Amino acid sequence: MTESPEGEGPRALNPAAERHAAVSARHHVGAAGFAQAEALEQIISAGREQIALTQSLRQVVITTQTQLRDAADKFDTEQAEFHAGKLQEVVRSGHAQIEAADHLRLAIQSTLTSVRGTPLEDISAGLLTTLGTLVQQQAKSLEHLIVTAISETTNAEQIRKLQLVSADAALRSEAVEHERTERELVNLEHLQTQTLTRIRQLEADGQSHADQKGQLEDAAESSQRTIEVLEAAEVRDLAQIADLEAQEQGAGERRAELEGAAATNQERIEELGGVPAGQTSVKRDPQEDA
């Protein structure tokens, strides 16, 4: 399968049109409420993530295709053909994920364009949740694809390139999660501000102290639950980072094994040729024998 040209997907993606859609949408909600602006930023953030994801996928596909080309003349055994099939499956999966990311980018661009004529209140929380889930699934699929590509690659330089792609993807994922957590904290602060405003309203309306206390306790419990959710998310993030570091260490050990196997194979080749490992044969002059 040949690689899709840069910038092509279900239909040609126009980066300038994407930027214009985001700017126009921000202008449209400039005077809108906090919730509307927050929803818009989530959509724009998902669009940016698709661009970075597509770049990583293309790098994996290019590296795997290079491995296929370099080893094409060696695919003369059943085991080698099986290995080639695995590499081709990585390429096919990479192209499929690129196409899915391009489709989602177009959908996001269409949503941003329609924002100018549609109140953001009509964008349901379910849509934003689904969008976030899709982005997370794509990140996991990319990670799985890279792990598969590394396990089927025998070239140390290509393994290093794939490890760099994996590290970059992990850093981006961590940054996206950090940004999401920051937005949630800002949202929590906004809710606290709303609570204080409501307290003043209750005091002005002359409601009893007991009623105010009950409402404040409810608000405090809600804030505490939100904080607990954020803390749990941070624990999950740390676990994911530790897992990525373990994968990177395993890849390094795999590279060392490959290099050792290559050295052993070279020694065997020299021994089969009648030349001891580490020495070079010397041709004798027939006149010296005479």
Specify the pLDDT at position 118: 57
Dihedral (CA of 249, 255, 258, 262) sign: negative
User: Would the pLDDT of 189 be above 60?
Assistant: yes
**Domain-located, residue 263:** yes
Q: Using CA atoms, how far apart are residues 80 and 128, in angstroms rounded to an integer?
A: 45
**Domain-located, residue 67:** yes
Contact 97, 9 (CB under 8 A): no
User: Would the pLDDT of 5 be above 50?
Assistant: no
Helices 125-151 and 209-272: crossing angle in degrees, nearest 10, is 20
Residue 245 Cα distances to 143, 242, 251, angstroms: 13, 5, 10
- Tell which wins on pLDDT, 272 or 70: 272
DSSP letter, residue 104: H
**Domain-located, residue 82:** yes
**Domain-located, residue 277:** no
Q: Which domain holds residue 165?
A: 15-271
**Domain-located, residue 279:** no
Task: Determine the average pLDDT of the residues in 98-110.
Answer: 77
**Domain-located, residue 283:** no
Helices 78-115 and 125-151: crossing angle in degrees, nearest 10, is 160
User: Would the pLDDT of 1 be above 50?
Assistant: no
**Structural domains counted in the chain:** 1
Judged on CB neighbours under 10 Å (0-12, 13-18, 19+), 158 is middle
Specify the pLDDT at position 267: 83
User: Would the pLDDT of 199 be above 80?
Assistant: no
Mean pLDDT, all residues of the chain: 71
User: Would the pLDDT of 11 be above 50?
Assistant: no
Tell me phi and psi for residue 113, to 5 degrees. -65, -40
**Domain-located, residue 192:** yes
Specify the pLDDT at position 236: 81
Specify the pLDDT at position 265: 83
**pLDDT tens, residue by residue, 55-68:** 888 888 888 888 77
**Domain-located, residue 3:** no
Specify the pLDDT at position 117: 58
Specify the pLDDT at position 247: 78
CA 263 to chain centre: 35
